[in-house]
Amino acid sequence: MSESSASVLRRAAIRTLAGNWRGTSTVPSPSLYPHQWSWDSAFIAIGLSHWSQRRAETELLSLFGGQWQDGRVPAIVFDPSVDEEGYFPGPSFWQSNTVSGTAPLATSGIVQPPIHARAALDVLRNAREPARARAFLRRLYPRLCREHDYLATRRVVDESGLAAIVHPWESGLDNSPSWDAPLARVPVDRSLLQRYQRRDLQHAGSDERPTDDDYARYIRLAANYRDSGYDDGRRLPSTEFLVIDPLFNALWAWSEEALADIAEVIGLDPEPHLRRARHLGEAMTELLFDSELATFTAYDVLARARVPRRTVAGLVPLVLETLSPAIVRSLTQQLTSAHFGLLDSDIAGVPSYDLRAPDFDGRRYWRGPTWLNTTWLVWRGLRVHGRDDLAAPLAEAMLELAAGAGFREYFDPRTGSGHGTRHFSWSAALILDVVEDLSRTGAHTVSVAE
């Protein structure tokens, strides 16, 4: 990348992040998502760490300001200055203030993929003030441990030791085709759509968002969880959706490895974290790796069966350094095959779903489009395993997507066109990370449209 094109892209990313900053945190998008989201904040902190270490630290600390006493880090921390109409489901739906042990700020009651320890470690690695970053890590470490302990104690539902999610939103890949079969058991109560109004369709086309039927199911699952008092212990046996997801667990294990590094930096014992990371990796291989499909898949706890779909979630375990060489080979073959098209010049980034599946949809939310966060995770995974031959073209593809379509929420992998909301924070943040990384090594020529 020439210095000048890199700086165009870098400046555009910083402009987006600065525009979405709300004083102590960053909104994913000023229009569609006007609060603070959990895993978005982790990606955002990674980007911010290249520009403003203080903002990166504040981003994570403010998210953990919403942590509940049981350790869960809620998927959304609501901004009290945004009115209820700004986003559905908002504070009056989740009613976190009626639950004991919750933060003073209103939050949702579900979680999202636990990638925060990894983000905190990246903040240290990119820090211009390392002493300050170490102090930040000392502050955050106990909260990160409680986040992971919540998963280990409240979300483990079988002998695998892996964490289960109780709502598709907890996966981060809301309407992934992996949820079709488990969701089919959840009755569609259309009256919920009259009682509660979807707000997302005011900001994005209905052909790009989840269907009404799926939305009715999401509301039902969330309302049932709320009405149980978010009590995992009592509720899990009677839940209508209970799934063990490879991306969620891979990010937990990857973050556990990061916690080990953080523990060392602040003079504590890394061993318990390494032990848990190793155990999670092995359990994932045993329960979630589908050797016929040659990828990781989700496990439907209630049906006691794997969900045989190839999605990007099945490739994200590449981030784990303890994966066996045979599995790494399977995953890289999967990536370069016609299912995901890495190295195919007609395919941009890593599609969220199998390009060859009959229900692949390049524009509908998590059912086909390329997202920059999952593509970035695969990129990091390829580098963990020394596959720079594949990582380098993927980095190039991410930059080209942003250069051509701007920091959109997602992209059609077949055309590179941008979709969903604009000025999307994690797209900007992760592009900033890639630009900074490549500016140390590579040479690319890109400019950005925003």
Residues with a catalytic annotation lie at 174, 409
DSSP symbol at 156:
B
The verdict on 177 binding ligand 2M8 (CB under 6 A) reads no
* Neighbour count for residue 258 (Cβ, 10 Å): 22
The nearer residue to ligand 2M8, 218 or 299, going by C-beta atoms, is: 218
The nearer residue to ligand 2M8, 174 or 232, going by C-beta atoms, is: 174
The verdict on 28 binding ligand 2M8 (CB under 6 A) reads yes
Q: Residue 40 corresponds to which tokens in the numbers above? A: 């978005």
User: Can you list the pairs that 59-62 forms with residues at least 24 positions away whose Cβ atoms lie under 8 Å?
Assistant: 59/24, 59/25, 59/26, 60/116, 60/119, 60/120, 60/123, 60/140, 61/136, 61/139, 61/140, 62/24, 62/25, 62/36
* Neighbour count for residue 343 (Cβ, 10 Å): 14
Of the residues 21, 39, 179, 248, which one makes contact with ligand 2M8 according to CB under 6 A: 39
Contact 147, 84 (CB under 8 A): no
The nearer residue to ligand 2M8, 33 or 150, going by C-beta atoms, is: 33
Of the residues 20, 40, 297, 307, which one makes contact with ligand 2M8 according to CB under 6 A: 40
R_g of the chain, CA atoms, integer Å: 20
Contact 246, 281 (CB under 8 A): no
* CA neighbor of 298 nearest in space, from 399, 129, 181: 181
Site string (75-114) toward ligand 2M8, x via CB under 6 A: x---------------------------------------
**Binding residue count for ligand 2M8, defined by CB under 6 A:** 10
Q: How far is the CB of 199 from ligand 2M8 (least distance, A)?
A: 8
Q: Applying CB under 6 A, which part among 77-85, 167-175, 177-185, 261-269 lies near ligand 2M8?
A: 167-175
Of the residues 6, 21, 33, 77, which one makes contact with ligand 2M8 according to CB under 6 A: 33
CA distance 127 to 119: 12
The nearer residue to ligand 2M8, 13 or 287, going by C-beta atoms, is: 13
Q: Residue 175 corresponds to which tokens in the numbers above? A: 């309407």
The verdict on 47 binding ligand 2M8 (CB under 6 A) reads no
The verdict on 37 binding ligand 2M8 (CB under 6 A) reads yes
Where does this chain bind ligand 2M8 (CB under 6 A)?
A: 28, 33, 37, 39-40, 75, 169, 172, 174, 200
